[in-house]
Amino acid sequence: MILTIIDYGVGNLSSIKNMLKKIGVDSIISNKTDDLINADKLILPGVGHFDYGIQHLHESGLMDPLNDKVLQHKTPILGICLGVQLLTQSSEEGKEKGLGWIKGRTVAFDKPKLDGNHKIPHMGWIDIKGFENSKLFTGMYDEPRFYFVHSYHLQLDNPADVLATANYGYNFAIGIEHENILGVQFHPEKSHKYGMKLLENFVKYY
């Protein structure tokens, strides 16, 4: 099994690789087309600004083979943090078009709905819910919690594409699952045993 972590110049890739190593999963970090084409599973990480991320993805030369792998060959892919936002059609953070694999967009937190206890960016641990039908959470520990750092969140057109939800002032989608396309807003590589289990499930069940 070849798991390729896509290197397009955005994100802390080594921390994801190290977390995978802890659960006994070998992976490669690569910006080479051949490594993407030969992959059995893909991880699209990312931190920072939406436009910066999508521009770097275009400049990497990986856009066409990535679309082919995911949309035609149905290779499982997991987007992480900015990586999941890039799966949508657009973002309020920028003007560039996203990958558009999932109908929906990335939006800023609605500040009028937040009280003084809810700061932006949202940073810290938060419980999630509504994940019971996903293999990504098979055998998950009770009351799973994950670590977030973000100012924007997903707003999906189809409720069936929502992987799970959380509450930070109001309920919002924290992930995507549509056939072979998955993504999470939180950082599994910073979420200790919960993140390890989630990555293990991605490798095992998809």
Extents of the domains making up the chain: 3-205
Told to judge if 187 belongs to the known catalytic residues of this protein, a careful annotator would answer yes
pLDDT value for 117: 85
Q: Residues 85-99: what's their mean pLDDT?
A: 97
List of residues 6+ apart from 177 with CB closer than 8 A: 134, 136, 161, 162, 163
Q: What is the topology classification, in CATH, of domain 3-205?
A: Rossmann fold (3.40.50)
Q: What CA–CA distance (Å, rounded) separates 196 from 35?
A: 24
Taking the model in full, what pTM does it have? 0.96
Decide if pLDDT at 132 tops 90.
no
List the catalytic residue out of 122, 150, 153, 187: 187
Tell me if residue 189 is catalytic. yes
What confidence score (pLDDT) does residue 46 get? 93
Asked if the model's pLDDT at residue 12 lies above 90, the reply is no
pLDDT at site 61 = 94
Q: What is the pLDDT of residues 149-198, one digit of tens each?
A: 999 999 999 999 999 999 999 999 999 999 999 999 999 999 999 999 99
187 touches 125 (CB < 8 A): no
Catalytic, out of 93, 177, 189, 200: 189
Share of the chain above pLDDT 90, in %: 93
**Closest listed residue to residue 8, CA positions, set 41, 158, 191, 42:** 42
Is residue 81 part of the annotated active site? The answer reads yes
Question: Which one from 81, 122, 150, 153 is the annotated catalytic residue?
Answer: 81
pLDDT at 10: 87
Residue 142 in this model has a pLDDT that exceeds 90: no
pLDDT digits (tens, 9 = 90+) for 52-77: 999 999 999 999 999 999 999 999 99
Mean pLDDT of 31-36: 95
DSSP state, 187?
B
Residues 43, 16 contacting (CB under 8 angstroms)? yes
Mean of the per-residue pLDDT values of the chain: 95
